[in-house]
Amino acid sequence: MAAPDPSTAGARRPDGDADVIAVGAGPAGSTAAAYLARAGLDVLLLEKSRFPRAKVCGDGFTPRGMKQLIDLGIDCSENNGWVRNRGLRVRGGGVSLELDWPTLASFPDYGAVRPRKDFDELLVRHAEKSGARLQEDTTVTEALTDERTGRVVGVCGYVGKGRDRRPVSFRAPVTLACDGVSGRLALSLGMAKRDDRPMGVAVRRYYTSPRTNDDYLESHLELWDRRDPANPKLLPGYGWIFGMGDGTSNVGLGVLSTDRASGTTDYRALLKAWLDGTPQEWGYRDENAVGAVGGAGLPMGFNRTPHYRPGMLLVGDAGGMVNPFNGEGIAYAMESASIAARCAVQGLARSGASAEAAFAAYPARMSQALGGYYRIGNTFSKLIGNPAIMRVATRHGLPRRTLMAFLLKLLANLYDPKEGNASDRVITAMTRLAPDL
Ligand SMILES: Cc1cc2nc3c(=O)[nH]c(=O)nc-3n(C[C@H](O)[C@H](O)[C@H](O)COP(=O)(O)OP(=O)(O)OC[C@H]3O[C@@H](n4cnc5c(N)ncnc54)[C@H](O)[C@@H]3O)c2cc1C
């Protein structure tokens, strides 16, 4: 579909400030805004910060993320600033294995890295070019609800900072909560995250390093907590080293925070302890650090539900969309955004019960897309929370290339449900057998 002229896109509604309000201009909000504006709707994209802005992330894209970008019409060539990679290098159990991204009908055979400061701006400008109206420096504090029906009819918050701060409110028939892991909009309606679903914590730092050019994303599956040298503990998570191609590496670790100690764990100290054990020549030492250590939560496996309540859809991290197998979130933020946009487009073209049926279909659509897979992922995250299982898996699993190639497909959610080979068929069968979430 051709992008409409932004100056004329979407006739303003008489009964509101926009057709759709999207709160948060990360990958979820910008993707949804672009799709909605292209469908001719008037989209108001509210963002608390101002672009370009940093976002703590590993900056890594698997082919699943690249597919979303291609679908959206983003130029993913290296000329456009993408540093592509061809697979995943897995280290652990004394073994290092390079696994190329699989050749599939559904996904490209390359991933990439790109700093989020740059990527998030690229995406939000794409949404603007598609016709969305971006309003920066606007912090949303809560959902506005209809007193009589409880339906979400808009949002309120404030624009600006300090003395210049002034209250604002906006109304629209449908609101997308794309405000990330904080989930402020959902929380304003009492929608807390679920304790029975996994949550992770990840920290990262940039270092100047001779390893900056790398054709593979690298993951370290054996992450030891050696802060008590007499009692080292194998952690449920992994470390990553992503060469950024600009003289630096993005180095970090993500750990499941299911165990009770997570509230007291010093993740920065853990990162340092891990990196101090890597070869000196890689350069991951304080003197080569660029900027501070940053960290945030990883809301996984649909850990905030329901994904719809009348008038509002939870998209991306706000709905706990991060893959519980590998902590990847950008692809899923974009995927849920495109599904949410389709439901909103349908709903806004109808009225009454038919409109509501289209909006309310969103959780079922998400469940069809990812529910079976995430159910297995949630079980997987419970298993790797057990150090004994982790130890056996790294020691005996890693040296087996065929098994690892299968696991790459499973962990990165890269398989062909229809056209694939034997391992694709096994994964498809597993996700179908697992009841949807
Ligand atoms: C250390 C770390 C490393 C990671 N590495 C990777 C990786 O390598 N690859 C990957 O795919 N995923 C990674 N992730 C996960 C990924 O960052 C997220 O899943 C992804 O950013 C989710 O996108 P989103 O649009 O849902 O939320 P966000 O990217 O968090 O965007 C939310 C937006 O909403 C805005 N906002 C928040 N609150 C408000 C408010 N009240 N009012 C207005 N605006 C608001 C924010 O400023 C932000 O712009 C990592 C996460 C962490 C913490």
- The DSSP-derived string for 229-289 is TTS-EE-SEEEEEEE-SSSEEEEEEEEE--SGGGGG--HHHHHHHHHHTS-GGG--SGGGE
Q: Which of 219, 317, 325, 338 to mutate to test the pocket of ligand 1 (most atoms within 8 A of CB)?
A: 317
pLDDT tens digits for range 290-337:
999 999 999 999 999 999 999 999 999 999 999 999 999 999 999 999
pLDDT tens digits for range 214-262:
999 999 988 887 777 788 878 888 899 999 999 999 999 999 886 555 5
Find the mean pLDDT for residues 78-104: 93
Q: Which listed CATH number (3.90.79.10, 3.50.50.60, 3.40.50.150, 3.40.50.300) goes with 20-84+108-195+301-375?
A: 3.50.50.60
Check pocket membership of 179 for ligand 1, CB cut-off 6 A.
yes
Other CB atoms within 10 A of residue 147 CB:
8
Check pocket membership of 57 for ligand 1, CB cut-off 6 A.
yes
Check pocket membership of 56 for ligand 1, CB cut-off 6 A.
yes
pLDDT tens digits for range 129-143:
999 999 999 999 999
- CB-CB contact of 358 with 364 (8 Å): no
Closest Cα to atom 41 of ligand 1: 140
pLDDT at 66 over 90: yes
Q: Which of 179, 181, 238 to mutate to test the pocket of ligand 1 (most atoms within 8 A of CB)?
A: 179
Check pocket membership of 28 for ligand 1, CB cut-off 6 A.
yes
> At 434, is the pLDDT very low, low, confident or very high (cuts 50, 70, 90)?
confident
Closest Cα to atom 30 of ligand 1: 180
pLDDT at 388 over 80: no
Check pocket membership of 59 for ligand 1, CB cut-off 6 A.
yes
Per-domain residue ranges of the chain: 20-84+108-195+301-375, 199-299, 386-430
* E strand intervals along 86-198: 87-92, 95-100, 111-113, 133-135, 138-145, 152-159, 166-171, 174-177
pLDDT at 6 over 60: no
Alpha carbon distance 332, 163 (integer Å): 38
Check pocket membership of 204 for ligand 1, CB cut-off 6 A.
yes
CA of 181 relative to ligand 1 center, distance in Å:
7
